[in-house]
Amino acid sequence: MVHIEGVLQVTDETFAAEVLGSDIPVLVDFTADWCPPCRMIAPVLSQVSGEQQGRLKVVSLDVDTNPETQAAFGVLSMPTLIVFQRGEPVKSLVGARPKHRLMQELDGLF
């Protein structure tokens, strides 16, 4: 599993509590070990997690070991980033991107 410093790893079992039940917006990184772009975006997500602590929660879900959540949200490509607010998906992004572009795309969501 791609470990991202400062980013909580969620599973099919913990997804509802950690993501859907969160009081603040949550950015979910749907990732896989075999995915080079996933490794490329990992340091970006680590930075965003640290800088936005308390405003945006960043979590990671390994699609290979958590197929139920992946299927529930129709995730087909990795990395897919989905922002959830009050338990609902509000924005979906596919592919790695630099931090400044990610922050532009997330502007206004948290």
Catalytic residue (choose from 10, 26, 27, 35): 35
From first CA to last CA, the distance across the chain in angstroms is 28
CA distance 26 to 48: 12
Known catalytic residue at 35:
yes
Tokens of 93: 């992004």
Helices 36-51 and 99-106, axial angle in degrees (round to 10)? 60
Catalytic residue (choose from 38, 63, 78, 83): 38
Known catalytic residue at 32:
no
CB 83, CB 89: distance < 8 Å = yes
Which residues does the annotation mark as catalytic?
35, 38
